[in-house]
Amino acid sequence: MSNFKLIIEYDGTDYHGWQRQKVTPTIQGTIEAALKTMTGRSVAVIGSGRTDAGVHALNQVANFSVATKLTPDIFKRGLNSLLPADIVIKDCKEVPDTFHSRYDAWSKIYDYRILNRPLPAAIFRKYVWHIKKCLDLGAMRTAMFYLKGKHDFSAFEASGSPRTQSVRTVVDVSFAAKDADGYLVFSIEADGFLRCMVRNIVGSLVDVGMGKTSPKEFREILLSKDRKQAGKTAPPHGLFLREVKYRPRDGLI
């Protein structure tokens, strides 16, 4: 058996998330179907984590094991010829059989993109949350730094989250300055994320930017561990999985 590591970019607009489902199209299911065409057998693709319906990825990491004589380059070219245009295999390489894309991940970085101006976007409308009211980025930056460190993030967790505990460590957070066209990006790196955690955080930070909530109240929401106190869930189409980090070992990176 050979173990292959994939780097995948995808537009999640037309998919019901990463995880395979019986009826609705998913990223995992679509890649597995292409692998079956190439290998003639069912192959399970393991992702570094699940992305929700409508969420995108620039560098999702996955791995699969199969008994084959096909090389990584053949898999890369073959999969890209079979997959739809909104899923691209950016890299494929053989890795030790001990590598697991999910369990070996050290941290993940998500970006959430907002368009903050009165007029909506024509071209990038599917990839940003359009907010007309001018946001107070200073207040949002003050609030976001309460996220750094090890916390119980239950206040920003959607119901039905598949986890054993809700404590995560946020390594870094940032808000890119709004550019001339009104685009800004919230970035967060953590050792793991709860279901809809990033989108719920963004929704609550936007409340701060609109003056509905103060930075101090944002901190109190975090400490409350109560989802009912937090803001609404930001729409999925503004969220991108940017990077999955692994400890350098055994030539994996």
Please say which residue of 47, 68, 103 terminates a domain. Answer: 103
96 in the same domain as 110: no
pLDDT, tens digit, for every residue of 116-164? Answer: 999 999 999 999 999 999 999 999 999 999 999 999 999 999 876 666 7
CATH code of 34's domain: 3.30.70.580
Q: Which residue in 11, 14, 52, 86 is the catalytic one?
A: 52
- 143, 220 contact by CB (below 8 A): no
- Asked whether residue 251 is assigned to any structural domain, the reply reads no
- Residues 9, 69: contact at Cβ < 8 Å? no
- Helix 215-224 and helix 197-209: axis angle, to 10°? 150
Report which DSSP code applies to 233. Answer: P
pLDDT for 174-227, tens place per residue? 999 889 999 999 999 999 999 999 999 999 999 999 999 999 999 999 999 999
The per-residue pLDDT for 248 is: 77
Q: State yes or no: is 52 an active-site residue.
A: yes
In a domain, 38, yes or no: yes
Range of the domain at 45: 2-103
pTM for this predicted structure:
0.94
pLDDT above 80 for 21: yes
Domain identity same for 111 and 197 = yes
Do 237 and 127 lie in a common domain? yes
- How many C-alpha atoms does 209 have within 13 Å on its Cβ side? 21
What one-letter code names the amino acid at 248? P
**DSSP character at residue 109:** E
Say if residue 132 is in the same domain as residue 196: yes
Nearest alpha carbon to residue 220 among 137, 169, 145, 146: 146
Which residue among 53, 71, 103 closes a domain? 103
Work out the burial of residue 102: count CB atoms within 10 Å of its CB; fewer than 13 is exposed, 13-18 middle, 19 or more buried. middle
**Number of domain units in the chain:** 2
117 with 169, same domain: the answer is yes
Tell me how far apart the alpha carbons of residues 212 and 204 are, in angstroms, rounded to a whole number.
Answer: 9
Q: What proportions of the chain, in percent to the nearest 5, are helix, strand and coil? A: 30, 30, 40
From residue 35, give the alpha-carbon distance in Å to each of 21, 22, 27, 164, 205. Answer: 17, 17, 12, 32, 41
